[in-house]
């Protein structure tokens, strides 16, 4: 099975000489550092389930398998070197270094792995122009060992995988609901491969692009934007019963502050001269703010921003009351 890339919406092909095989994006920023795939393979130990010493699927295996699947589904399509971000380092040492002061440890006496890992692989041989911005098809995923019970026997392991676009202007990720799987549960690398192939093959790329194109059709006035931000502030203080009746938001207070700041200051997606802001610009303010989210909840918040913008757009288009909007 091959993933179909043909699209009628502003598609451009990129010459191979334009491809830079060095990751340059900052699709996530909070508390992360950049590492190479080679580092994950050669320098990091593999966590195990402690009660039976069975190995987990490593970060390296996850990223490497994703590369293989892209080659399988998209033969001949160029892919950039994976941009890998990790956080929450777990340090250890070999048995012969027991009792040795940390400052005196030799490099070969240290062990290391990362609790959380996120990666993105750009496919720059296909790009789209959406609302004046160049978007690159991208595939990636997240693995967070803190969401596993490593103190038990081997059990199903959790992975998050996505296919979507990255905005070249600001390296924001644009992920739709059908391009994201929040909780892939598998017991082997082969099962993980099957789940990724299923997700990538069922992704409705053209529909995703059309939905983003439509975001330019709606906008909020300055007063409506202020009302929206106020409602965001109120939402977290509502009782649980009331919250369940309202479309959920997952951005935190500091991220909402960044949205307001960028409404005035963002060089690419700030307000218009009359104070209004298009839904496309608002969406990018949301995804830009989300880059401060930790690895283990970044993708969910990104998808929530996409769903929220579409929810607001449908309400305006169909003149449906919406708790967040002031008509």
- Tell me the C-alpha distance between 80 and 121, whole Å: 6
Q: How many CA atoms lie within 13 A of 147 on its CB side?
A: 17
State residue 158's pLDDT score. Answer: 97
Pairing assessment for the beta strands 173-174 and 180-186 based on DSSP bridges: unpaired
Q: Among 169, 172, 198, 196, which Cα is nearest to 306's?
A: 172
State how far the Cα of 186 lies from the Cα of 52, in Å rounded to an integer. Answer: 18
pLDDT of residue 15: 39
Distances (CA, A) of 23 to 20, 37, 294: 8, 11, 20
Phi, psi of 285 (to 5 degrees): -65, -40
Provide CB contacts within 8 A for 30, sequence distance 6+.
87, 291, 292, 293, 294, 295, 298
Between the alpha carbon of residue 244 and those of residues 82, 104, 236, the distances in Å are 38, 55, 11
Ranges under pLDDT 70 in the chain: 1-25
For residues 68 and 62, what is the distance between their CA atoms, to the nearest angstrom? 10
Give the pLDDT score at 9. Answer: 36
Which pLDDT does position 21 carry in this prediction?
A: 41
Looking at residue 227, what is its pLDDT?
A: 97
CA 12 to chain centre: 24
pLDDT digits (tens, 9 = 90+) for 301-319: 999 999 999 999 999 999 9
Per-residue 3-state assignment (H helix, E strand, C coil) for 188-248: CHHHHHHHHHHHHHHCCHHHHHHHHHHHHHCEECHHHHHHHHHHHHHHCCCCHHHHHCCCC
In angstroms, how far is the first alpha carbon of the chain from the final one?
48
Other CB atoms within 10 A of residue 216 CB? 14
Q: How far apart are CA 28 and CA 171, in angstroms?
A: 9
* C-beta contacts of 181-184 below 8 A and 24+ residues apart: 182/299, 182/300, 182/303, 183/158, 184/158, 184/159, 184/160
Predicted confidence (pLDDT) per residue in 82-104, tens digit: 999 999 999 999 888 999 999 89
Burial class (CB in 10 A: 0-12, 13-18, 19+), 175: buried
SS3 of 150-195: the string is CCCCCCCEEEEEEEEEEECCCCCEECCHHHEEEEEEECCHHHHHHH
Residues written for the chain: 327
pTM over 0.85: yes
What's the distance, CA 156 to chain centroid? Answer: 22
């Amino acid at each position: 099975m091959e993933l179909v890339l043909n699209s009628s919406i502003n598609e451009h092909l990129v010459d191979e000489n334009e491809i830079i095989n060095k990751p340059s994006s900052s699709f996530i920023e909070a508390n992360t550092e950049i590492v190479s795939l080679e580092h994950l393979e050669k320098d990091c130990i593999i966590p195990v389930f402690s009660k039976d010493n069975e190995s987990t699927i490593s970060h390296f295996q996850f990223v490497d398998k994703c590369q293989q699947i892209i080659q399988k589904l998209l033969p001949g399509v160029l892919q950039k070197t994976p941009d890998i971000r990790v956080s929450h380092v777990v340090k250890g040492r070999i048995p012969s270094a027991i009792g040795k002061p940390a400052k005196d440890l030799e490099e070969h006496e240290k062990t290391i792995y990362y609790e959380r890992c996120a990666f993105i692989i750009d496919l720059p041989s296909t790009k789209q122009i959406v609302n004046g911005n160049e978007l690159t098809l991208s595939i990636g995923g997240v693995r967070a060992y803190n969401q596993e019970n490593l103190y038990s026997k081997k059990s199903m392991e959790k992975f998050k995988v996505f296919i979507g676009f990255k905005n070249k202007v600001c390296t924001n990720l644009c992920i739709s609901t059908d391009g994201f799987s929040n909780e892939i549960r598998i017991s082997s690398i082969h099962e993980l491969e099957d789940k990724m192939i299923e997700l990538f093959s069922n992704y409705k790329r053209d529909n995703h692009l059309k939905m983003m194109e439509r975001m330019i059709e709606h906008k909020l006035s300055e007063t409506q934007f202020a009302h929206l931000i106020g409602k965001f502030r109120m939402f977290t203080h509502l009782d649980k019963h009331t919250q369940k009746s309202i479309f959920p938001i997952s951005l935190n207070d500091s991220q909402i502050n960044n949205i307001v700041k960028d409404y005035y200051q963002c060089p690419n997606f700030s307000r218009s001269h009359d104070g209004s802001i298009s839904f496309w610009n608002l969406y990018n303010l949301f995804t830009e703010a989300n880059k401060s989210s930790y690895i283990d909840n970044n993708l969910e918040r990104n998808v929530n921003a996409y769903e929220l913008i579409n929810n607001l757009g449908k309400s305006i288009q169909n003149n449906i009351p919406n708790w967040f909007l002031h008509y």
